[in-house]
Structure 1
Amino acid sequence: MKKGYLILLLLLVSAALIFGGGAKPTPKEVIKLKVSHMWPAGSRWETDVLGPALEDMKKATKGAIGYTFYPVGTLNAPADAYDATARGICDVTFITTTFNPGRFPLTDIFGLPLNWPKSALQPIVGKPVFDQFLYKEYPDVKPLAILPTSFFYLYTTKKVRTLEDMKGLKIRSAGGIGTNVIKALGAEAVFMALPDAYLAMQTGVVDGLITGSDAGVSFKLQEVTKWGVIHNLGSIPIGLLMNKNTWAKIPDQYKDAVAKIGWGEGFYHTKMIDDTRKNDIQTMTAGGANAYYLPPEEVARWEAVLKPMLRNWIADLEAKGLPAKAVAAAYKQSCLANGVPWPYD
């Protein structure tokens, strides 16, 4: 009799475990993504931008897709981001497209100086242009997102107040339209990756750079900057790329969550910029830089020399058989539809 009760008890326990009476097992992490980026370890780019986007993915996949950061070029130099992703050196990488001059020519339009009401509009405005045109420039990888981002200010070791002060200065450029901005203002553009800018300013290789306030603080440029012109001199195209083989290995039920990493990064990035811009400028000034806001009459002069840039960019790329006019029209339409002024002819 006791034996019968014991058998019955075992059957009931087994049934409870099989049909959900027991604790549900923690899902096994089936894929861990190697995520490469150029930012310092533990910087806000990990904690406030890339990290939250990847954590959203991890949560949506119930832990089935994880990640490990490889910061500051551990796996690849910033300029090698595209090729490193295509070859599988990393699974996902942060890319600044202008670090490869001429390779993503249509994407360069995201570097145009625009009077953004807020950074958070940048991924919203950029996505339709990416979806319609720009994804075609990345055939060897799975592009998760490419978008305009940041407001570029001028940081220098020499005093700049007018256009005349720019003449002859050597200014670090991230490439793309940013190079045209520097040249239009009368300075000499010196192409280099952002992690090299600190030493270049410290040693006088360059007299300054244009970059976002968030990037300036991330790389401690306040330590080598004496003067800052707080006027928007453009943006920079950035994004996330994924290796095609890695993408193919992602189970179908998780692909949507993984695909959202790029635009999630864009959301968290622009939110971070809007939330911290004022403090970043204060950090730069506390570090010894003098922040200067151009008066209206000088703003008009600077913008007048920048205005022909889009027309010249279109003409140059159309001559090479690229649909620059259509891309510019799509970008203009998306800007105006989202309340971003369009200052170009």
Structure 2
Amino acid sequence: MKYKPTLAAIMAMAFAVPVMAADIPETELNVVGSIGILSMYKDMESPFWNETIKESSDGAIKANLKPFNELGFKGGELFSLVSNGTVQMAHQVLAYTSGSVPMNEATDLVGVVADVEAVHIAAKAFRDTHAEFLAKDHNIKLLGYGTYQSQVIYCRDAFTSIADMKGRKVRASGASQQVFIEHLGGSPIGMSFGEVPTAMANGTIDCAITGALSGYQAKWHEPANYISALPINHGVIAHIANMDWWNSVDPAAQAVIEAGLTDLEEKMFALAKTETTDGLACNSGGACAYGDAANMTLVPVTDADRALRTEAANVAVLPAYKERCGEECSAAWNATIGAAMGFTIN
């Protein structure tokens, strides 16, 4: 009798998992992660590469992961190292590259994205445009995004409003943060994350911007006494790979890595939402799951602060972005992120 598959059998074949662990060849890769002492690396990147990928591939994929700070990097140079193939894969903090590659800051301009949910909407709107740009101009494969929690202002001395940044020296990472501080009348200072506590303690800087929880985990609360709850921006990360190397990877291994990083993106954005609240609490005497709470003074957010942040975006941040990025880049931003967020670069 000729075999006639049942409907159930047909459906099972149609929805069968296309990549089985047995189909994946042995694959070893090197990945440079983000800052090793922070939860982005410890709770997200490290478990993903050391456990999830290994399990998803039945041990076929082995990742050698190190955070960039343990490798002696400052962070921004990773982008060019991935581009030229020196580094195979990296979790790149995009703000670190905003001076040399303005388009990389598109998803996280100060004043445009007011919370973590907005950042993810912006990233999704820009993903295809960004991926095409990275592939064409930088030989880089975009494999997803992540983000730190909301970036907030830490200061050694008292302040009651972001307008009080006038006359202060403020550590700012990324071009739009620097433009923002200049608009407030402050002096933006470029400085690596790890240098901040000492610089604030000795008066080299008065204030600094970083994630609400990241600053707590790095003990910024020791030299700083005041913290604002107003999100400045967030600190988007891109999961990137050298395109030539990526094209050499077996398609079955590619599929496992891409699926895993898609899931990791969702987890990173979900974590960032809770870490903003947790970070503010840990710094200002609230319930803290990450250690003993510090006793910083929490500066409440006012309508005037929100209005000043929006003014800065329209008057300073967006025009400066257009100047750095150009007409074509700005038009692409308007058609994607601008349309999603209700902003326009004129």
TM-score range, shorter chain: 0.7 to 0.9
The answer to whether the Cα contact below 8 Å between 1:82 and 1:95 also exists between their aligned partners in 2 is yes
Structure 1 residues 213 and 29: alpha-carbon distance in aligned structure 2, compared to 1, 3 A threshold: farther
Q: Deviation per CA, 1:241-268, whole angstroms, max 9, x where unpaired?
A: 2133431332111212212454444322
CA contact (8 A) 1:34 1:90 kept: yes
Matching residue within 272, 292, 300 for 1:293: 300
- Aligned Cα root-mean-square deviation (Å): 3.0
Alignment of 1:179-258 (within 5 A): 179-258=178-257
How many residue pairs end up in the alignment? 313
**Counterpart among 331, 335, 340 of residue 325 in structure 1:** 331
Q: Structure 1 residues 37, 133: CA separation in 2 closer, same or farther (over 3 Å shift)?
A: closer
User: 1:274 and 1:171, CA in 2 relative to 1: closer, same or farther beyond 3 A?
Assistant: same
Q: Which moved more, 1:28-37 or 1:322-331?
A: 28-37
Q: Secondary structure at 1:307's aligned position in 2?
A: helix
Paired residue type of 2:91? F
Percent same amino acid at aligned positions? 16
> Contact between 1:48 and 1:272, CA under 8 Å: does it hold in 2?
no
Q: Cα deviations across residues 33-54 of structure 1 (Å, max 9, x unaligned)?
A: 222124125x422332213443
Is structure 2 residue 320 aligned with structure 1 residue 313? Answer: yes
* TM-score, structure 1 as length reference: 0.79
Task: Work out whether 1:128 is the aligned partner of 2:162.
Answer: no
Mapped partners of 1:58, 1:202: distance in 2: 43
**Offset, 1:344:** 6.0
Q: In the alignment, is the contact (CA less than 8 A) between 2:98 and 2:104 conserved in 1?
A: no
> Structure 1 residues 144, 76: closer, same or farther in 2, change over 3 A?
farther
Q: Give the conservation status (yes or no) of the 8 Å contact 2:24–2:253.
A: no
Q: Specify the SS of the correspondent of 1:225.
A: coil
Deviation at 1:219, TM superposition (A): 1.9
Aligned residue number for residue 55 of structure 2: 59
Give 1 or 2 for the bigger CA radius of gyration: 1
Matched residues in 2 for 1:120 and 1:298: separation?
Answer: 20
The equivalent of 1:156 in structure 2 is: 155
For residue 106 of structure 1, give the secondary structure of its aligned residue in structure 2: helix
Does the 8 Å CA contact 1:53/1:268 hold for their aligned counterparts? no
How far the C-alpha of 1:72 sits from its partner, in A, is 4.4
Q: 2:44 aligns with which of 26, 45, 49?
A: 49
Contact map agreement 1:168 1:188 (CA 8 A) in 2 = yes
Where does structure 2 lack aligned partners over 5 or more consecutive residues?
1-20, 285-292
Whether the 8 Å contact between 1:225 and 1:288 is mirrored in structure 2 is no
Q: Deviations over 1:285-340 (max 9, x none)?
A: 2323211113324433443344323541364247x4433123133113334xxxxx
Partners of 1:81 and 1:93 within 8 A in 2: yes
Instruction: Structure 1: state its 5+ residue gaps.
Output: 1-24, 336-341
Distance 1:122 1:49, change over 3 A: farther
1:283 aligns with 2:289: no
- For residues 70 and 126 of structure 1, the distance between their equivalents in structure 2, rounded to whole angstroms, comes to 26
Give the CA deviation at 1:65.
1.1
Counterparts in 2 of 1:203 and 1:262: CA distance versus 1, 3 Å: farther
- Residue 102 of structure 1 aligns to a residue whose secondary structure is coil
* 1:27/1:63 contact within 8 Å kept: no
Equivalent AA in structure 2 for residue 234 of structure 1: N
Residue identity opposite 1:238 in structure 2: I
Asked if the contact 1:36–1:73 (Cα under 8 Å) also holds between the matched residues in 2, the reply is no
- Among candidates 13, 26, 39, match of residue 35 of structure 2: 39
One-letter identity of the residue aligned with 2:26: V
Q: Structure 1, residues 112-149: CA drift from partner, whole Å, max 9, x if none?
A: 23576852553344133121245414523323234665
1-side partners of 2:105 and 2:111: how far apart?
Answer: 14
The TM-score with structure 2 as length reference comes to 0.78
